[in-house]
């Protein structure tokens, strides 16, 4: 299902439009944005686990009314927000359930932007202490003017220091990069 969606040009653009519309409705109705994001991601997980359901909701051979009825039967016991139910009905009716992962991703990004939260990844040679993580998040947040939501992983190949990816920015203070710069500088003087 999602492989087919990935192959189509413009998939992310269309999904972003659905996510933007959902975001605007949720804001207007003052619905909890995190709840909407979690419910959307929960439905995405359901579709990943239940491939027969995903196929039925995306099947052009099944009439739109029937696809929506299947969706409503599945979600009858769930207490999903009305905004989610309306979005999923629309996607099922238009044979676009395959967009759910992309809509969820775009919606999450919109929520983070709205809350001024910048996700990022920190790579270090060794695990950082909680104090180091807190300090690093604080310094990055100050530099970017946002609250940081960082994930951490280790990579012994960087030897020391850290590499931070936040949005389209990369801050590389690794020992490996510094050694490479030193080597290039030394070679350029020869």
Domain identity same for 95 and 51: yes
Q: Are 13 and 80 part of one and the same domain?
A: yes
Angle at which helix 33-49 crosses helix 51-58, to 10 degrees, equals 100
Are residues 61 and 77 both part of a single domain? Answer: yes
The answer on 100 and 81 residing in a single domain is yes
Question: Do residue 67 and residue 11 come from a single domain?
Answer: yes
Q: Which of 113, 146, 164 is the last residue of a domain?
A: 113
The CATH number that applies at residue 130 is 3.40.30
Q: Are residues 89 and 124 in the same domain?
A: no
Which of 93-131 are b and which e, b meaning 16 or more Cβ less than 10 Å from the residue's Cβ? Answer: beebbbbbbbbbbbbbebbbeeeeebebebbbbeebeee
Whether the pLDDT of residue 180 is over 70: the answer is yes
Whether residues 104 and 147 share a domain: the answer is no
**Would you say how long the chain is, in residues?**
190
Do 103 and 124 fall within a single domain? no
pLDDT at position 1, please?
44
Quote the tokens at residue 4.
Answer: 């087919």
Q: What is the 3-state secondary structure (H, E, C) of 13-25?
A: HHHHHHHHHHHHH
* 158 in the same domain as 184: yes
**pLDDT value, residue 7:** 43
Question: CB–CB of 85/4 below 8 Å?
Answer: no
pLDDT digits (tens, 9 = 90+) for 45-97: 999 999 999 999 988 999 999 999 999 998 888 888 999 999 999 999 999 99
> End of a domain among 88, 113, 138?
113
Q: What phi-psi label fits residue 83: left (phi over 0), alpha (psi between -120 and 50 degrees) or beta? A: alpha
In this predicted model, what pLDDT tens digit does every residue of 124-144 receive, in sequence order?
999 999 999 999 999 989 988
Domain count, the chain: 2
| CATH code where residue 48 lies | 1.10.520.20
* Arithmetic mean of pLDDT, 106-132: 93
The DSSP result for 89-148, as a single string, is: HHHHHTT-GGGHHHHHHHHHHHHHHHTTEEEEEEEESSPPPHHHHHHHHHHHHHHHTSEE
Taking residues 145-166, report their average pLDDT: 91
Q: Which helix (H) or strand (E) holds 40?
A: helix 33-49
Give residue-wise pLDDT tens across range 30-47.
999 999 999 999 999 999
pLDDT at 10: 82
Is residue 157 classed exposed, middle or buried when 0-12, 13-18 and 19+ CB atoms within 10 A define those classes? exposed
Same domain (yes/no): 31, 80? yes
- Number of CB atoms found within 10 A of residue 91's CB: 23
Residue 152 and residue 60 share a domain: no
Say yes or no: 67 and 136 in one domain.
no
> Where among 81, 113, 145 does a domain terminate?
113
The residue range of the domain holding 36 is 2-113
68: its two tokens? 């929506």
Predicted local confidence at residue 174, as pLDDT: 86
């Amino acid at each position: 299902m999602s492989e087919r969606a990935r192959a189509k040009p413009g998939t992310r653009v269309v999904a972003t439009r659905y996510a933007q519309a959902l975001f605007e409705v949720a804001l207007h109705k003052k619905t909890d944005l995190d709840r909407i994001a979690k419910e959307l991601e929960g439905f995405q997980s359901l579709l990943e686990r239940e491939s027969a359901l995903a196929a039925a909701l995306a099947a052009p051979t099944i009439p739109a009314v029937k696809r929506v009825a299947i969706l409503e039967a599945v979600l009858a016991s769930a207490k999903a927000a009305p905004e989610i139910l309306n979005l999923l009905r629309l996607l099922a009716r238009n044979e676009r359930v395959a967009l759910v992962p992309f809509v969820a991703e775009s919606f999450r990004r919109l929520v983070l932007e709205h809350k001024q939260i910048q996700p990022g990844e920190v790579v270090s040679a060794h695990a950082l202490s909680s104090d180091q993580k807190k300090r690093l998040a604080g310094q990055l947040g100050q530099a970017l003017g946002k609250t940081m939501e960082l994930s951490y992983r280790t990579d012994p190949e960087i030897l020391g220091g850290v590499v931070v990816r936040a949005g389209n920015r990369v801050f590389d203070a690794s020992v490996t990069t510094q050694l490479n710069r030193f080597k290039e500088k030394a070679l350029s003087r020869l």
